[in-house]
Amino acid sequence: MEKKMKLETRAVHAGDRKQPANRDAFVPVTTPIYASSSFLYADTAKLDRVLGHEEEGYSYARYENPTRSALEETLANLEGGAGAVACSSGMMAMELALQAALMDRPKAILAANALYGATLSLLTKVFEPMGVESDFVDICDFDTVRAKLAYRRYACVTMETISNPLLRVGEIDRIAVAAREQGALLVVDNTFATPMLARPLELGATYSVHSVTKFLAGHGDVLGGAVISDADGLPGLTALSRITGPVLGPFESYLTMRGIKTFPLRMERQCANACRVAAWLQAHPGIEKVHYCGDPAHPDAATIRRLLPQGLRGALVSFSIAGAGREQVFRFMDRLKLVVRGTSLGDVHTLALYPAIASHRDLAPKQRARLGIGDGLVRLCLGIEAVDDIIADLDQALSE
């Protein structure tokens, strides 16, 4: 699959229709589900060469499975990576990427202070007790990021392309350079942006992490993750993965691959819907504040214009209901008829989430307030429905 074709084309074709060695054999149009834990050859000498890495091939599913490999090829293709490892969840992918970064580097991580809740828990409740310290920084304040990097040696910097739920955007490219100067890698969670909006490896990151559960699989039926790597990071990543087996099963790999074929179409519509809904919310008298990457008054507007493609500003919109606390937000959520109250994002259906009881539940109210996550804040991820129906549902749920 040629890299120069457009992403929409590569999403449909990459990874599929491998020509078998025997050219007379048929070629399946889409990669089938290979439900097999091991693979054998006509002669043992070939298996020996495959196990010894002298020849490419499949031997055991913890190492490689053809369905998963096809998905990994697609993912690497979409983000310009040298390879990828598809994992059993987004969090498994995050752990794998951070472990690979830590392997032969200082046992310290410089992390964005706005992170997905479970990533924060991974740093403080898993890595910290194992002796890996994390320092936290406002990732949108580049001068402070650079100062921190100069002050202490880190294995890596970790951040999200678009943060949750306030949708802040840091300067990935400049941070990648600053990190590299100090021997640290950059690990970017690109789940919210997707390869349509950002390709972190092209901006200098070593690992781009995804929860494929979200936009890439896109239909609310898969739990999965992926790490996409540049050439330097790949040997460490795959060596670790072959030992620990954090990998995605063939059924989920198949579903994710199927989802990716329509992901560019879905994402375009989802971004367009978010743009319309953000404008509608801005004009609504019952809404105090709207967080949206397409807002010209966004605190990172200059970075967004510089790093994200024109017209694609993401499918997420967060907003505060004026004067609302827990009770009023519960009432709003319970009145939604079309919008699904699911604790996820990136699906074909529009999803609403209340961060105070979901993604940021484990934080004390004061901590949440310090991050700017008030009790009236709701996160919306737009689906592919007709936007007028979504707005009508929000309107009736917000009415007195």
Ligand X SMILES: *Cc1c(COP(=O)(O)O)cnc(C)c1O
Residue 207 near ligand X by CB under 6 A: no
Q: Can you point out the beta strands (E) in the chain?
A: 83-87, 108-112, 133-137, 156-160, 185-189, 207-211, 225-229, 287-291, 316-321, 351-353, 377-381
Site string for ligand X, 129-168 (x = CB under 6 A): -------------------------------x---x----
Please say if 34 is a catalytic residue: no
Q: Which of residues 221-280 bind ligand X (CB under 6 A)?
A: 223, 225
β-pairing, 351-353 with 316-321? unpaired
CB of 357 to ligand X, least distance (A): 16
Q: Can you point out the beta strands (E) in 178-233?
A: 185-189, 207-211, 225-229
Kindly list the distances between the CA atom of residue 382 and the CA atoms of 167, 299, 368, in Å, as whole numbers in the listed order: 14, 22, 24
**Helix, strand and coil percent figures for the chain, each rounded to 5:** 40, 15, 45
Number of other residues whose CB lies within 10 A of the CB of residue 112: 23
Phi, psi of 225 (to 5 degrees): -145, 175
Q: Please identify, among the stretches 86-94, 103-111, 130-138, 335-343, the one whose residues bind ligand X according to the rule CB under 6 A.
A: 86-94
Residue 89 near ligand X by CB under 6 A: yes
Residue from 49, 62, 242, 289 carrying the catalytic annotation: 62
Residue from 116, 207, 254, 292 carrying the catalytic annotation: 116
CB of 118 to ligand X, least distance (A): 6
CB of 42 to ligand X, least distance (A): 39
Q: Please identify, among the stretches 15-23, 207-215, 333-341, 383-391, the one whose residues bind ligand X according to the rule CB under 6 A.
A: 207-215
Please say if 138 is a catalytic residue: no
Residue 116 near ligand X by CB under 6 A: yes
Residue from 146, 148, 199, 214 carrying the catalytic annotation: 214
The three-class DSSP label of residue 187 is: strand
User: Is there a cis peptide before residue 165, judged by omega within 30 degrees of 0?
Assistant: yes
Residue 213 near ligand X by CB under 6 A: yes
Please say if 242 is a catalytic residue: no
Q: Please identify, among the stretches 58-66, 115-123, 143-151, 176-184, the one whose residues bind ligand X according to the rule CB under 6 A.
A: 115-123
For binding to ligand X (CB under 6 A), which residues are involved?
89-91, 116, 118-119, 160, 164, 189, 191-192, 211, 213-214, 223, 225
